[in-house]
Amino acid sequence: MPKFTLALDDWLDRSPRVSLGLGLLILLLVGLFHHGSSKEYNFDFFYIIPVAFAARYCGRLAGFSVSILAAATWFASDYWNFYTDQLWLTDWNLTPLQLSLINAALCLSIFLAVALLVSMLESDIVLEKARAQTKSDMLSIVSHEVSNALTTMGMAIFVLEEEMGDEPKPHQAEMYDVLHRNITSLKRDVENLLNEARMESGHFALEIRRVDAAELARSALAVIESSARQKKMEMSVKLPPRPLFVRADPDALHLVLTNLIGNAIKYTRPGGRVAVELKPSGEPPIAVLFSISDNGIGMSPEEQEEALKGFTRSSRGKKMAAGFGLGLKTARDMLASHGARLDIESSQNSGSRFSFSLPAAQDQSPTRA
Residues with Cβ < 8 Å from 22, sequence gap 6 or more? 12, 53
Among residues 51, 54, 47, the alpha carbon closest in space to that of 17 is found at 54
Q: pLDDT category, 253, cuts 50, 70, 90?
A: very high
User: How many angstroms separate the CA atoms of 328 and 256, rounded?
Assistant: 8
Residue 365 belongs to some domain of the structure: no
User: What predicted TM-score, i.e. pTM, was given to this entire model?
Assistant: 0.59
If asked whether residues 218 and 332 sit together in one domain, one would say yes
Chain CA centroid to CA 353, Å: 23
Q: CA 51 to CA 117: how far, in whole Å?
A: 11
Contacts of 108 (CB under 8 A, 6+ apart): 67, 68, 70, 71
pLDDT at residue 118 above 70? yes
Tell me: do 264 and 353 sit in the same domain.
Answer: yes
217 and 344 co-located in one domain: yes
Residues 14 and 108 occupy one common structural domain: yes
- Compute the distance between CA of residue 342 and CA of residue 214 in angstroms, rounded to an integer: 18
Identify whether residues 352 and 218 lie together within a single domain: yes
Let me know whether 217 and 323 are in one domain: yes
Same domain, 141 and 124: no
Contacts of 28 (CB under 8 A, 6+ apart): none
Burial of 169 from C-beta contacts in 10 A (0-12 / 13-18 / 19+): exposed
Asked whether residue 58 is assigned to any structural domain, the reply reads yes
Are 249 and 335 contained in the same domain? Answer: yes
Please say if the pLDDT value at position 277 is more than 90: yes
Same domain, 213 and 313: yes
Residues 285 and 347 in one domain: yes
The verdict on 216 and 355 lying in the same domain is yes
Question: Considering the domain boundaries, does residue 369 fall inside one?
Answer: no
End residue of a domain, out of 131, 155, 190: 131
**Structural domains in the chain (count):** 3
**Which region among 50-64, 164-178, 262-276 has the lowest average model confidence (pLDDT)?**
164-178
In our burial notation (b when 16+ CB lie closer than 10 A, e otherwise), range 242-276 reads eebbbbbbbebbbbbbbbbbbbbbbbbeeebebbb
Strand 343-346 with 273-281, pairing: unpaired
Span 303-310, mean pLDDT? 86
Residue 368 lies in a domain: no
Q: What band does 102 get if pLDDT is binned at 50, 70 and 90?
A: confident
- pLDDT grade for 271, boundaries at 50, 70 and 90: very high
Q: Of 131, 157, 179, which residue constitutes the final position of a domain?
A: 131
Domain limits at 217? 209-359
Say yes or no: 82 and 11 in one domain.
Answer: yes
Phi/psi for 46 (5° steps) reads: -65, -35
Of the residues 100, 131, 162, which one is the last residue of a structural domain? Answer: 131
